[in-house]
Amino acid sequence: MRPILTMASLSLCLSLSGCAAYERYVAEREAAAAAEAAARQALYEQKRQQISNAQAACALPYADPKTEALRTKIPAPPQEPSLRQLGDTARPTARQKKALEVMDTLLADCHVQQAAIEALDRPVTHAAYVNYGQRLRSLVSTLWAGKLTFGQFNQGQQQLVADYAQERTALLQQQEIVNAQYRAARAAEAAQLAAERAAASAAAPKHTTCKQKGKETRCTTY
């Protein structure tokens, strides 16, 4: 919707050139607003696609056909392992080791994409997520080397997920405290400034004007 003509714009439009200038001004404002809205929408769509891609990438290590040999052995987080999976004393076979190699590659892609989202949306948790990814890869490597049973791996992965969730929650709570303190400080500064302005206004010099009307003098202080 175009702006309603004000008295100033009506005066401007008393000349044809003035109306043309005003029309250009309105068109430029509308174009700028449309461009800003388009940019916001594009950013939203980009972010939504980024999240969708990361979700797909993080589901793939446990769903790719090449990791099928691990399907009943390792649950996909945040799904918790069953009692049988926690108590599994088997170590990876040659076929399962190949599947673990594929899983390791897919997990790396997952962590890169998810870490990018953390860095943009929740910078305070980014380092914690990167550390989680590194520790999980180390755990996969140890399982691949045959130094862990599947049960031990599942216990380790479950603990990693729990540790990261706890750390992430604590970091977000700390950030919220910092944000609240910042907002309170800004509000206090604004209140102090308002008080100082009010005091300055009250202490400002008063001006008195007097008018003589016949034998009577009337004075006004402002």
Amino acid identity of residue 92, one-letter, is P
Structural domain including 103 reads 20-188
Residue 183 CB contacts under 8 Å (≥ 6 apart), including other chains:
none
Taking a C-beta distance cutoff of 8 angstroms, is the pair 136, 114 a contact?
Answer: no
In a domain, 169, yes or no: yes
* pLDDT at 11 (0 to 100): 55
DSSP 2: P
In a domain, 10, yes or no: no
In a domain, 146, yes or no: yes
In a domain, 128, yes or no: yes
Taking a C-beta distance cutoff of 8 angstroms, is the pair 92, 139 a contact?
Answer: no
Taking a C-beta distance cutoff of 8 angstroms, is the pair 2, 28 a contact?
Answer: no
* pLDDT at 115 (0 to 100): 96
In a domain, 8, yes or no: no
In a domain, 27, yes or no: yes
In a domain, 212, yes or no: no
State the helix-helix crossing angle for 150-203 and 123-144, rounded to 10 degrees.
Answer: 170
Listed residue (127, 133, 126, 123) closest to 160, CA to CA = 133
In a domain, 183, yes or no: yes
What pTM, to 2 d.p., does this model score? 0.69
* pLDDT at 43 (0 to 100): 80
pLDDT tens by residue, the chain, 222 residues:
555 555 555 555 555 566 777 778 888 888 888 888 888 888 888 888 999 999 999 999 999 999 999 999 999 988 999 999 999 999 999 999 999 999 999 999 999 999 999 999 999 999 999 999 999 999 999 999 999 999 999 999 999 999 999 999 999 999 999 999 999 999 999 999 998 888 877 776 667 778 777 778 787 766
**Number of domains making up the chain:** 1
